[in-house]
Structure 1
Amino acid sequence: MLTTRRAFLISASAAACSLAATRRAEAEKTPDPGGPDLDVRDLDLPGDRALGRRMTLAIPRGLDATRSPAPLLVLLHGLGETGDERMGAYAWLERYGLATAYARLARPPVARTSKRLDFTDAHLRVVNDELARAPFRGFVIACPYTPNVNKAKNPRAALDGYARWIAEVVVPRARREAHVAADVARAALDGCSLGGFVALEVFSRRPDVFGAIGVVQTAIGAHRAPGYADRIASILTSHGARGVHVETSAADPFRAANEALSAELGKRKVPHDAIVLPGPHDQPWLREVGTLEMLRWHDRRFRGLSPSKT
């Protein structure tokens, strides 16, 4: 028995050392994924292996615990990063331009970083005028791994479990790790592509946790827009006002579905903001303008400001 126990402890210790070595190697690969403004924590969480057990938490550097608690935004990533928990947890930071978009907003004027015209001159002028009037304040951002629920044997049950994990594990852990507000109005959920679809499903199941729902190029069919609009309208009736944001682009293959969602929300008189930007459905678009506009919308909503007029 003692030998078995000793062997178990040695094995557990070796596994912990191996995990620490792996994390050190990953940190060396991306020495400062948060850029100049965000302190990034790589967190292991309890959960189902098939649904997710890892997230990154981006906390604004210099966040003052003596001041009012910061808002919290939970971001879900797309299909391309569902095959690996580490890749998914870092998708927004390493692939979607989260840290650089945050830094550009924190240090205006915002400038174009790509030769593509995803960010037009007129749009830049509006963004910089608004930042001059109301500077970006920022917030804590949780980026949990997002599974490809469509591959699950029972996708509905997988979504039930994932929504429960987000509401009962991810959000409470973010609040323990950082000086994050506890009220629903100062928590928001957003997602890109597949993550937009999953965000809609999570919000539909746990509207008690989030004061806003956003989607960026959400990967749904146009035929599903009425159903999601019905759900959101019902949530507003039963839970009170919620912010709603729909963001897409001119060459997004899901543009028609995103526009249909906005149109259906309008038919139900659901207050929401919708924007169609130039550009395709790809990561360079996110890094140039998509992620920045998403962050800017949430920052303005958290502060009670009117949406951008772009």
Structure 2
Amino acid sequence: MRTTRRGFLIGASAAAWTFGTTRRAEAGGTTDLGAPDLDVRDLDLPGDRALGRRMTLSIPRGLDPTKAPAPLLVLLHGLGETGDERMGAYAWLERYGLATAFARLGRPPVVRTSKRLDFTDEHLRAVNEELARTPFRGFVIACPYTPNVNKAANPKAALDGYARWIAEVVVPRARREAHVATDVARTALDGCSLGGYVALEVFSRRPETFGAIGVVQTAIGAHRAAGYADRLAAIVTAHGARGVHVETSTTDPFRAANEALSAELTKRNVPHDAVVLPGPHDQPWLREVGTLEMLRWHDRRFRGLSVRNP
């Protein structure tokens, strides 16, 4: 049964942000979407219709409220799902392999699920050896709708409003819904393609909210790499160390930009992890290896472990 939806614009008062709706999805409750390890909540949130009012929250089953709270990862989706809030909120779960990657990591050994060799034999061995040493723990994952800010009349203002919504609505709601950590070190942000670009912009505006920023095949031009590296370096200087992850693939059209971002971060002595995996810029690549590697990186960082790239 749904409660009354309270929709407010981004400029509404802070008090208004505390309300929202949990949509009990098609099955009449939380859904599994083929995800044996996750309870998925479909949430309506107050916000600006043009920027976002919906997210899914994936909570590991068996999360014990008597133990230490789980870390939180906020994930932003790509351009293809910006046309519909429902499609966007479910993009990682239904299209990018989030649920299956979570299950594969939690039930090793990881095996190849595609005939393509996006996951090489050597990479599989390395991942499974690492999981044998240090099993995957998992964390709570918030997947809010991500708008195509480039279509806004004023993209800068749209990014300002969206960053405010993520920091002041999405993250607090996730913390109320689940047994989630409230410290910056265990709160992270990541995004794929357009979502990687938006994640960089959100992180640059609200660095006090997140202890790490990741991008997967981020859709930026190589000419913008130096500017983003400058902003990340300034954040580290002003706010302290932050985890940074840059993930791309061999035939990703944005590979050069992602590699340029890594190179510019290195020039500025910003510690980060960068990886180039085999494969194209598409959803099958995400489902096979891209999403799994992104989750694995965050899991290890949340636990203070070094990340071994393949």
Partner of 2:14: none
Q: Using structure 1 for the length normalisation, give the TM-score.
A: 0.91
Q: Say if 1:182 and 1:211 are closer, same or farther in 2 by CA, change over 3 A.
A: same
Query: How big is each residue's C-alpha offset from its partner over 1:178-218, in whole Å with a ceiling of 9 and x where there is no partner?
Result: 00000000000000000000000000000000000000000
| Aligned match of 2:130 | 130
Q: Partner amino acid for 2:229?
A: A
Which residue does the alignment assign to 2:8? Answer: none
Give the match's secondary structure for 1:118: coil
Which residue identity lines up with residue 264 of structure 1 in the other structure?
A: E
Pairs within 5 Å for 1:1-310: 24=25, 26-27=26-27, 32-33=32-33, 35-310=35-310
Counterparts of 1:212 and 1:34, CA distance in 2: 29
Q: Distance in 2 between matches of 1:306 and 1:289?
A: 19
Cα contact 2:196–2:218 (8 A) shared by 1:
yes
- Structure 1 residue aligned with 2:10: none
The separation in 1 between residues aligned to 2:180 and 2:32, in whole angstroms, is: 22
Deviation of 1:27 (Å): 4.2
Query: Residue 159 of structure 2: SS of its match in structure 1?
Result: helix
Contact 2:247 2:274 in 1 (8 A): yes
Does the CA contact (< 8 Å) of 1:79 and 1:195 recur in 2? yes
In 1, Cα distance between equivalents of 2:181 and 2:24: 29
Deviation of the 1:23 alpha carbon: 6.1
Which residue does the alignment assign to 1:8? Answer: none
- Structure 2 segments unaligned to the other structure (5+ residues): 6-20
Q: Is the 8 A contact 1:34 1:58 kept in 2?
A: no
Aligned-partner residue type, residue 173 of structure 2: R
Aligned counterparts of 2:143 and 2:63: Cα–Cα separation in 1: 18
Paired with 1:111 and 1:268, the residues of 2 have a C-alpha distance of 38
CA distance in 1 between counterparts of 2:36 and 2:76 reads 23
User: In the aligned structure 2, how far is the partner of 1:31 from the partner of 1:304?
Assistant: 31
Q: CA deviation at 1:302?
A: 0.2
Distance 2:74 2:161 in 1: 17
How much has 1:308 moved relative to structure 2? 1.4
8 Å contact from structure 2 (residues 31, 39) kept in 1: no
Secondary structure in structure 2 of the residue aligned to 1:223 = helix
Rounded to whole Å, the distance in 2 between the matches of 1:306 and 1:242 is: 14
- 8 Å CA contact 2:31–2:41 kept in 1: the answer is no
CA contact (8 A) 2:31 2:40 kept: no
Task: Return the offset for 1:32.
Answer: 2.4
| Contact 2:24–2:41 (Cα < 8 Å) also in 1 | no
Consecutive unaligned residues in structure 1, runs of 5 or more: 1-11, 14-19
Q: Which runs of 4+ in 1 moved over 6 A?
A: none
CA–CA distance in 1 between the matches of 2:36 and 2:298?
Answer: 20
- How far does residue 31 in structure 1 lie from its aligned partner after superposition? 5.4
CA distance in 2, matches of 1:135, 1:208: 30
The size of the alignment, in residue pairs, is 290
1:33 to partner: Cα distance? 1.7
Q: Which is greater in Rg?
A: 1
Q: Could you tell me whether the CA contact under 8 Å between 1:38 and 1:58 is conserved in 2? A: yes
Hey, what's the Cα distance between the residues in 2 that align with 1:308 and 1:42? Answer: 34
Percent same amino acid among aligned pairs? 86
